[in-house]
Amino acid sequence: MRIAQIGLGALAIILSIIALALPGLTFLSLVILLSVVLFFVGIEKIITGIFIAHKARFATIGLGILTIILAGLAMAYPVAAAIVVVFFLGFALLMNGFARIVDGITNKANKGWVRGFTIGVGILAVIISVMILASPVFGAVFAGLIIAMALLIIGIQMVAAGVSGRRDSIVSSSSSTSKFRE
């Protein structure tokens, strides 16, 4: 278990270094990976709709076909698909920022510093979202950097857990009862 933790943690650290070096490519790679996964999900939905009888049989088949078409388009045009994803994320972040600003202004139940912090976070979200919407490349790079940092932190934690010797195992019932008898 410890060797697996150390090995997988080291792999995550290596991938995070690559992602830090190429954050835009990291995001594009995830879009491609997601489109391949969705392609197989579409196939599964069609097969399920054909062979399993239920009320929404034709809807399942139709949505499976639609999923395959959209996944195929994303695989054929990954840069365009990545730009669409970035725009959706930018608009979602923009709406979240506005919601936080409104909540900070109108929610009288929160204390003064919490309201100010909420408004500040909302303003930061709006600023970042405007930057993402103004430059989708910035959005892709920003997302890639966040992914890289998350991988780095996870990798370091995994290596530390493996090196420190912490074991994540299920104690058998015979060993746990013997402790109570002593």
Q: Percent of the chain scored above 90 by pLDDT?
A: 80
- Assigned token pair, 161: 């857990």
The tokens describing 132, both together, are: 């993402």
- Between 10-19, 86-95, 98-107, 167-176, the lowest mean confidence (pLDDT) is in 167-176
> Tell me, what DSSP letter sits at residue 18?
H
165 Rama sector, left if φ>0, alpha if ψ -120 to 50, beta otherwise: left
pLDDT (tens digit, 9 = 90+) per residue, 68-84? 999 999 999 999 999 99
Whole-Å CA distances, 62 to 125, 146, 161: 37, 36, 47
pLDDT at 181: 47
Q: Which of 2-6, 45-49, 88-92, 150-154 has the least mean pLDDT? A: 2-6
Measured CA to CA, the distance from residue 118 to residue 110 in angstroms comes to 10
Backbone φ and ψ for 168, nearest 5 degrees, come out as: -105, 85
Write the DSSP symbol of residue 55. Answer: T
Mean of the per-residue pLDDT values of the chain: 90
- Structure letter (DSSP) for residue 172: P
pTM, full prediction: 0.73
State both tokens at 137: 């490349």
**DSSP line for 137-171:** HHHHHHHHHHHHHHHHHHHHHHHHHHHHT----PP
What are the Cα distances from residue 74, in Å, to 68, 81, 85, 179?
Answer: 10, 5, 10, 57
Place of tokens 């402790």: 179
- Residue spans per domain, the chain: 2-164
Closest to 13 (Cα-Cα) out of 161, 146, 151, 147: 151
Mean pLDDT of 98-113: 92
